[in-house]
Structure 1
């Protein structure tokens, strides 16, 4: 859970009530994400707090999809939170040398900003809303404004409406899926053989559903 009370020129903001919110956010993502690099998505938060479950919800929604240009860490079942963040970041770096990280986290801010999703360049500071000292993370970040900051943040998070968080997570996950589809299309156009080989290898390992085969075959 990070804190955001002002916006900069290196940010794009959309609102969950906008009809084309997911399409707009996916466009912004593809403008700023490096098209040729594999991207690690770090979905930060915990399922023990309604307000702070935004990141893991996005991760769980993405885990059920077949993504070819993104690798997802942090779900409701296996959250990425304050107690394991440093260790898991090291795992990301070990498994994906020099990764480009898209960090996703819930955020507290002004009352007029609740329901907004902010895409920003650079790192975010997980735990800053709760005065936790955690390392900054991300080359790019998505912050979901789930509630208001300024007083008893722990209580605010526990009393955040699940409906708002679920709606926000679903639209952000949809935007990432759209971005993945577009990134695959661009790769296929620029390097069709390489893209086809990567997709075929992935399917042989995980099957069409994107999950490991259970029969032991490759």
Structure 2
């Protein structure tokens, strides 16, 4: 789970329709071969499954460098090892779930800066990413772990699909399957 909305003024709040331009700007600056998607989260919590669900969808769209999928999640236990596996020179797009205010539910926070995974639940993990995308999957409250456990899976799956479709469109990937869904 990534940083909260109010913690960075450099983050842009947008709905799914704005994500394509976020990815298009990255694609304009960096070739696809230089991009690694680092999709953070675990499949053991519905709210925090956004990362591995997104990673799996990105692979389905044909992205060559993705770390963090349903079969092989990138979570708090292995984040530092996963970061170390990424070759030097790669541009990292970090993707994670987060909690936010009620009015922001279902929105995305994007930035040309790193995000801090698990900050909302009190863990101190390294900031990661040249670019970051945090999906506000549920409302922040006094019990973030419980909130993540009870986050509707349908919402998380929908947001993961929106991210993957926007990335494919932004990078100009010819993915007829994605547009048939």
TM tier, smaller: 0.7 to 0.9
Deviation >3 Å, runs of 4+: none
Q: Which residue of 2 aligns with 1:80?
A: 74
Check conservation: 2:109, 2:134, Cα contact below 8 A. yes
Distance of 1:150 and 1:3 partners within structure 2: 14
Which of the two has higher C-alpha Rg? 1
Gap regions ≥5 residues in structure 1: 185-218
TM-score normalised by L of structure 2: 0.88
The alignment status of 1:119 with 2:110, answered yes or no, reads yes
Q: Which residue of 1 aligns with 2:163?
A: 172
Pairing partner for 2:25 from 31, 34, 50: 31
Pairing partner for 1:106 from 94, 97, 114: 97
- The SS at the match of 1:146 is strand
Deviation at 1:25, TM superposition (A): 1.2
Check conservation: 1:12, 1:28, Cα contact below 8 A. no
Q: Which residue of 1 aligns with 2:179?
A: none
Q: Which residue of 2 aligns with 1:62?
A: 58
Pairing partner for 1:97 from 70, 78, 88: 88
Aligned positions, number:
172
Output the aligned Cα RMSD. 1.8
Gap regions ≥5 residues in structure 2: 175-181
- The SS at the match of 1:2 is coil
- The SS at the match of 2:80 is helix
The alignment status of 1:41 with 2:37, answered yes or no, reads yes
Pairing partner for 1:154 from 145, 152, 156: 145
